[in-house]
Structure 1
Amino acid sequence: MNPAPMNLVGQPAPDFTLPSSTGQDITLSSYRGQQHVVLVFYPLDFSPVCSMQLPEYSGSQDEFTEAGAAVLGINRDSVYTHRAWAAEYGIEVPLLADMRLDVARQYGVAIDERGISSRAVFLIDKGGVVRFQHTEEQTGQYTVRPETVLAKLREL
């Protein structure tokens, strides 16, 4: 069982800067006023459920772009692992390296005793406010698909 997530809906999204698979550091607040952001926290690169989830989000990238949103994957793996996984699975969304789980803790999704984050999705509007969040009860679950997030995005 994952820890009970804190409810961030209606709150300003905690800001962060993390290295990414694209080779640049990505700062959440740099999207403010420009694009909505979908943060996809996931436990591990190369794991079975994650290897289905992130390619699905990546494959929906055009729809997210049309809806005015950037998708960012986040977990505790290194940028080197992210690059290898992205190359093998054709993942085109930036994957951010939260190696100490600092950002996962800010969002209430760190599972410290396992050294991973929960599987969770946060939708942050252009103003930097969390408008939707969902944390799976168990890391092996994957119930919030891209189409669910796209529907929430279209409501903004």
Structure 2
Amino acid sequence: MSAHTLGSDAILSAGTLAPDFTLNATPDQKLSLHELRGKPVVLVFYPADWSEVCSDELALFNQALALILEGGATTLGISVDSAWCHQAFVAAHKLRFDLLSDFHPKGSVSSLYGAYDAEHGYCKRALFVIDAQGRIAWSYLSPTAINPGVDGVLDALESLKHS
């Protein structure tokens, strides 16, 4: 299923093979989703570094990181901000997980997941839990102004342990 066949408010759903991607984690280091195969991955798509709701959401994920790691999962934040912007944001907020830059071509990876808002030019606030085999186990699209928290992610990771 391509992003072009998704409705404007549809994100990829459970059971879908997670599209592979390679994005910058720093200005000179890239990370590919397939490198993480064999363990769960949490993708946190968010509109922008430095915005109030995004700062709160990413701080919550930072606080919950120990619980996410108990599920064996790697957490990755993704927005269209540059890798330079991400580095400053990570340092300022003492984040202990990578932020990936979907900067150029802008929104190309978030579009694959149905999580790009082309009208406004930023990522939608969407969460994905990908299982060890690379399939989406759980996904959630939140209104842009609402912090979705981490409970859904933690529940999905708990379900993976029992499947």
User: TM exceeds 0.5?
Assistant: yes
Q: Matched residues in 1 for 2:107 and 2:11: separation?
A: 16
1:132 is matched with which residue?
Answer: 138
Q: TM-score, normalised by structure 1?
A: 0.92
Q: Matched residues in 1 for 2:56 and 2:28: separation?
A: 24
1:24 aligns with 2:44: no
> Which letter does structure 2 place at the counterpart of 1:117?
C
2:3 is matched with which residue?
Answer: none
1:122 is matched with which residue?
Answer: 128
Q: Percent identity?
A: 36
Equivalent position SS for 1:13: coil
Aligned length: 152
Q: Matched residues in 1 for 2:27 and 2:159: separation?
A: 30
Verify the 8 A CA contact 1:22 1:94 in the aligned structure 2. Answer: no
Q: Matched residues in 2 for 1:71 and 1:121: separation?
A: 11
TM alignment of 1:1-156, pairs within 5 A = 3-21=8-26, 24-33=29-38, 35-99=39-103, 100-136=106-142, 138-143=143-148, 145-156=149-160
Q: TM-score, normalised by structure 2?
A: 0.88
Shift of 1:8: 2.6
1:29–1:50 CA distance, 2 compared to 1 (3 A): same
Query: Which consecutive residues of structure 1, in runs of 5 or more, have no partner in the other structure?
Result: none
Segments ≥4 residues shifted beyond 2 Å = 21-24
Q: Matched residues in 1 for 2:152 and 2:99: separation?
A: 21
